[in-house]
Amino acid sequence: MIIKDSHIPIYFQLEMEIKEIVKGLNPGDPISSEREFSEKYDISRMTVRQAINNLVNEGILVRKRGKGTFVAEQKVEQPLSGLTSFSEDMRSRGLKPLTKILSFQQISSDKNIAAKLKITEGVPVYEVSRLRLADESPMALEISYLPANIITDLTENTVHASLYEYIENELNLKISHATQTLESSLAQKSECSILQIEEGDPVLLIERFSYLQNGEAFEYVKSIYRGDRYKFVIDMKR
Ligand code: 16G
């Protein structure tokens, strides 16, 4: 119910109303249109828009161009304190990690990849492009480069499961540390159908360089994470 002569702003009352409505819905369900809300509560469309904008910013609703407004999927929170794999991250949240291999090949490293992995140009590397899913919902697109002399005998089957498990349990190598950068970007056309998002939707670009205990770089990964499904959490001490 919206009380017009209350000291609580109408847009804020509507936000509370919509939050109540959302409790009874599932992620992905549509909510009423701006016009419907404005008619139902006899308030201006501007006020409705303000309430919906705030809920979109809070990550409770998502707008899909030309389609309407929907209940948002919950974001996966990933702490940035430890070096974990996608499979570990999803399992620790009770989600099932799944992988779709988009391409798998051994190539000779070009100048750029060789420089990233600090190897000589031409040294063979595996180039693996994978779509990572959680409970069948697309989360990220990853392109990994792995030196073939370190990560030996890699197969499509191995990268279909967990790469880090293969490295640690089958190759008995010790993964030690990584350097990672994160930057925001907008989805490009080529990524949209794979990640099931629309061109221009927010994404996070992540680059990771990972090292073994002996200091050797064993992977260089470029990934694109869905901005609507991911949230990174950092604990800071002072
Ligand atoms: C994560 C890593 C990626 C690594 C993968 C291994 C980021 C940004 N990337 O996705 O570098 O290759 O985990 O996952 O966190 P897996 O063991 O499940 O194959």
Type of residue at 22: V
Distance 55 CA to ligand 1 centre (A): 31
Mean pLDDT of the chain: 94
pTM comes to 0.83
Please give the ipTM for the structure prediction.
Answer: 0.97
Atom of ligand 1 nearest to the CA of 180: 8
Q: Which domains does the chain have, with CATH numbers?
A: 10-71 (1.10.10.10), 76-233 (3.40.1410.10)
Between 79 and 143, the higher pLDDT residue: 143
At residue 100, does pLDDT exceed 90? Answer: yes
Atom of ligand 1 nearest to the CA of 90: 18
Residue 135: DSSP 8-state: T
Percent share of the chain, pLDDT over 90: 82
| Span 167-186, average pLDDT | 96
| Span 203-210, average pLDDT | 96
**CA pair distance 207, 140, nearest whole angstrom:** 12
pLDDT at position 59 is: 86
Distance 236 CA to ligand 1 centre (A): 23
Record the tokens describing residue 56, joined without a space.
Answer: 């979109």
At residue 120, does pLDDT exceed 90? Answer: yes
Give the pLDDT band of residue 221 (cuts 50, 70, 90): very high
| Span 173-200, average pLDDT | 94
Identify the burial level of 5 via C-beta atoms within 10 angstroms of its C-beta, where 0-12 means exposed, 13-18 middle and 19 or more buried: exposed
pLDDT at position 54 is: 94
**Ligand 1 proximal residues by C-beta, below 6 Å:** 85-87, 97, 142, 144, 162-165, 206, 208, 219, 221, 223
Atom of ligand 1 nearest to the CA of 225: 8
| Span 198-204, average pLDDT | 91
Q: Which of 58-67, 103-112, 122-131, 222-231 has the lowest mean pLDDT?
A: 58-67
